[in-house]
C-alpha cells in the first residue's frame, strides 16, 4: 500500500508594512506568525511577496541609494538570521519573498523579486526569481499610485524550478505569475504537489478591470484554483493585505486542494495564520485520470505558446 504523505502546512498572511517600519520589527512579526504556525502543528509556512518591507515599487525614486536600501544583498543576513534560527528551533520550514540584489565580480548589479524555500535545518534549498513582472518601467502620469516593478526588477533568470522538499515536490511563483497558466503547467510538468506563492495585490487595479473588490478577489482565487485543479497540486498563497501607505491590498490568503477547492482562507486583512492538513498524494488521482499529461497532452499543437508572445488574429 502506498505511504500516506501528510504535512501540516500554514499560510502566514501579513497586514500592512509601513514605509518607516524597520526590518527588525517586520521579522518580529514574522517570528510570531511562525510560532503560531508551529502551535498549529505546522512544518512549513508561506510568507508574502516582498515580505520584509513595504511594497516599495509603488514609488518613483530619485535617489538610487534609497532604492537599493529595499534590497537584500545576502540571505540570510543580520535581520533575517532569526527567521532561519526559528525554522531550526521549531522544525518549521518556510517560503520567503524578498527583493534581491546580486552583484557579480565585475560589480554589475541585478535586481530580482525573489522567493526562497528554507528547510528545517535553516538551509536554502530552492530559489525562484519572479518572471511575470507587472506594471510599467516608467511612472504613469496622473496615476493614483505607481507600480514600477518593470523599472526596478530584472526578469527572473531561473525558470520555474521544482524541488524535492519535505517529502514532496514543491514549486514556487510570485504574485502576478499566478495569473499565467503557462507557469502552472511548467510546474505541473515537473510533478509539483505543492505550489507556494506570495502576493501584493491592490484592490483597485490601474487598468480599471477590477474596480469591484469582488472581482479582484474573484480573479485572485480563480487563477489559483484553476492552477491547482489543472495540475493536481496544493496551492499555498500568502497575501500582504490591508491599507499600506494609503493603498488597499486584498487579503484572501488561502490553502487550495488539488481538486481546486479552498480548504482554508484568512478572514482578516492583518497578520493571520491558517493551517491545513495536506495529503501530498491527494493530486495523484487527478494526475492519473483527467489530467494525465502523458496520455492526453497534444504537444504538436502547442507550438505557439513558446514561439509567439502576442495574439495574432486570423487573416481570412
Beta-ladder partners of 97: 115
Which grid coordinates are listed for 119?
A: 528547510
Question: Considering 92, 173, 175, 254, which one is annotated as catalytic?
Answer: 175
- Using alpha carbons, list the distances in angstroms from residue 274 to 3, 121, 173, 214: 26, 23, 20, 22
229 neighbors 256 (Cβ within 8 angstroms): no
- Smallest distance, ligand CDT to C-beta of residue 73, A: 22
Report in angstroms how near the CB of residue 87 gets to ligand CDT at its nearest. 25
Q: Does 179 bind ligand CDT (CB under 6 A)?
A: yes
161 binds ligand CDT (CB under 6 A): no
Quote the cell numbers at residue 238.
Answer: 500568502
Tell which one of 76, 122, 134, 181 touches ligand CDT (CB under 6 A): 134
- What is the rounded CA–CA span in Å between residue 113 and residue 93? 20
Is residue 175 among the annotated active site residues?
yes
Indicate the DSSP class of residue 240.
Answer: B
Collapse the DSSP code of 273 into the 3-class scheme (helix H, G, I; strand E, B; otherwise coil) and give the result: strand
Exactly one of 199, 229, 234, 291 binds ligand CDT (CB under 6 A); that residue is: 199
Residue 142 Rama label (left phi>0; alpha psi -120 to 50; beta): left
| 150 is an interface residue for ligand CDT by CB under 6 A | no
- The three three-digit cell numbers of residue 186, written as one number: 511548467
Binding ligand CDT by CB under 6 A: which of 201, 225, 233, 275? 201
Please enumerate in sequence order all residues whose Cβ is within 8 A of that of 309, keeping only pairs 6 or more positions apart, or say none. none
23 binds ligand CDT (CB under 6 A): no
Residue 199 C-beta: closest distance to ligand CDT, Å: 5
Q: Per CB under 6 A, which region of 80-88, 172-180, 257-265, 294-302 contacts ligand CDT? A: 172-180
Q: Determine the Cα–Cα distance for residues 147 and 139; give it in Å rounded to an integer.
A: 8
Stretch binding ligand CDT (CB under 6 A), from 84-92, 175-183, 184-192, 283-291: 175-183
**Residue 150 and residue 153: Cα distance in Å, rounded?**
6
213-252 residues in contact with ligand CDT (CB under 6 A) are none
Query: For residue 256, what are the β-bridge partners?
Result: 235, 262
Q: Nearer Cβ to ligand CDT, position 166 or 200?
A: 200
Is 130 considered catalytic here? yes
109: annotated active-site residue: no
Which are the catalytic amino acids?
Answer: 49, 130, 175
User: Can you give the binding site for ligand CDT, defined by CB under 6 A?
Assistant: 49, 134-135, 147, 175-176, 179, 199-201, 205-206
Amino acid at each position: 500500500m502506498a505511504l500516506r504523505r501528510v504535512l501540516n502546512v500554514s499560510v502566514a498572511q501579513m497586514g500592512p508594512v509601513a514605509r518607516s517600519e524597520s526590518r527588525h520589527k517586520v521579522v518580529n512579526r514574522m517570528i510570531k506568525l511562525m510560532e503560531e504556525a508551529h502551535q498549529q502543528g505546522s512544518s512549513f509556512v508561506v510568507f508574502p511577496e516582498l515580505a520584509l518591507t513595504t511594497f516599495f515599487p509603488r514609488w518613483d525614486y530619485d535617489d538610487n541609494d534609497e532604492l537599493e536600501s529595499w534590497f537584500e544583498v545576502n540571505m540570510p543576513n543580520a535581520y533575517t538570521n532569526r527567521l532561519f534560527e526559528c525554522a531550526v528551533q521549531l522544525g518549521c520550514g518556510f517560503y520567503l519573498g524578498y527583493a534581491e540584489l546580486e552583484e557579480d565580480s565585475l560589480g554589475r548589479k541585478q535586481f530580482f523579486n525573489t522567493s526562497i524555500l528554507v528547510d528545517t535545518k535553516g538551509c536554502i534549498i530552492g530559489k525562484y526569481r519572479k518572471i511575470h513582472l507587472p506594471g510599467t518601467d516608467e511612472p504613469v502620469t496622473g496615476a493614483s499610485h505607481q507600480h514600477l516593478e518593470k523599472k526596478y526588477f530584472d526578469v527572473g533568470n531561473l525558470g520555474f524550478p521544482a524541488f524535492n522538499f519535505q517529502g514532496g515536490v514543491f514549486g514556487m511563483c510570485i504574485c502576478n505569475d499566478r495569473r499565467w497558466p503557462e507557469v502552472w503547467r511548467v510546474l505541473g510538468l515537473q510533478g509539483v504537489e505543492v505550489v507556494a506563492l506570495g502576493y501584493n495585490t491592490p484592490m483597485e487595479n490601474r487598468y480599471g478591470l477590477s474596480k469591484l473588490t469582488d472581482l479582484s478577489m474573484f480573479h485572485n482565487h480563480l487563477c489559483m484554483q484553476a492552477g491547482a485543479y489543472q495540475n493536481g497540486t496544493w496551492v499555498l498563497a500568502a497575501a500582504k493585505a490591508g491599507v499600506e501607505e494609503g493603498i488597499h491590498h486584498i487579503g484572501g490568503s488561502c490553502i487550495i486542494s488539488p481538486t481546486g477547492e479552498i480548504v482554508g482562507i484568512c478572514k482578516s486583512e492583518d497578520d493571520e495564520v491558517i493551517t491545513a492538513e495536506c495529503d501530498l498524494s491527494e493530486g495523484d488521482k487527478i494526475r492519473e485520470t483527467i489530467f494525465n499529461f502523458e496520455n492526453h497532452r497534444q504537444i504538436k499543437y502547442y507550438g505557439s505558446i513558446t514561439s509567439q508572445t502576442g495574439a495574432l488574429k486570423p487573416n481570412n
